[in-house]
Amino acid sequence: MTTASRPTFAPATGGQGRGETSLSSMSKQYSSRDLASHTKLKYRDIGQGSSEEIRNKDLKRDLEEREKFHKDKGDRKDRTLKNVPSVTSAHRKFRVDSTSNGLDTDDPIEDESDDSIDEEEEDDTAELMAELLRIKAERASDMAKKEMELRQEEERIRMENILSGNPLLNYAGKAQKSDLRVKRRWDDDVVFKNCSRAEHILVLRFPINHSAM
């Protein structure tokens, strides 16, 4: 018999006796996650950008120095690039002077050599540019031809799909015969298929629980 319906004759009461606790007192149990954490404030050390270091630092002067350094670096680069042609021209002038010093005063100065070299270089450059333009034109024509063939093939496939996709619209004049045969099932080749249709069936002439069994 259950005692769940019995009234409570001795309800829980607060006290200090055995099995009794003060229901109004605070619990002394607490979770470790309720403990106070990060109770110490961290300050920046020396070299970490503390307030005193920033206060004693002249930010404007540092910015001006960095801008000046960047500008000087760009100016040095520009001057280096400007000096390269002058060095080349000076070297060419020195080469011409050294060549002319070995000649006699009566010999004619051959200034046509440099002109012929320049003309040959220009001719070579023109030939290379013409060859490059020809190669680009050939590649462009090949790409256009391939794109045209691809579009024609896609159009042919699309038209075939349109004409042969709907069996009611068969413009070929040859109606495709639909295969009305029943497809084979996935279990047609099992071992024990159609066992009840076997021709030779063993007929038991005596009960199964016969003593001879």
Domain ranges of the chain: 59-101, 123-166
Q: Convert the pLDDT of each residue in 111-137 to its tens digit.
A: 555 667 777 888 888 889 999 999 999
Query: Residue 4: enclosing H or E segment and its boundaries?
Result: none
Region label for 38, one of left (φ > 0), alpha (ψ between -120 and 50) or beta (otherwise): left
Statement: the pTM of the whole predicted model exceeds 0.75:
no
**Cβ–Cβ < 8 Å for 95, 89:** no
Q: What is the pLDDT of residues 152-197, one digit of tens each?
A: 999 999 888 887 776 666 555 554 555 566 677 777 777 777 666 5
Mean pLDDT of 80-98: 57
Q: And the tokens for 88?
A: 């080349």
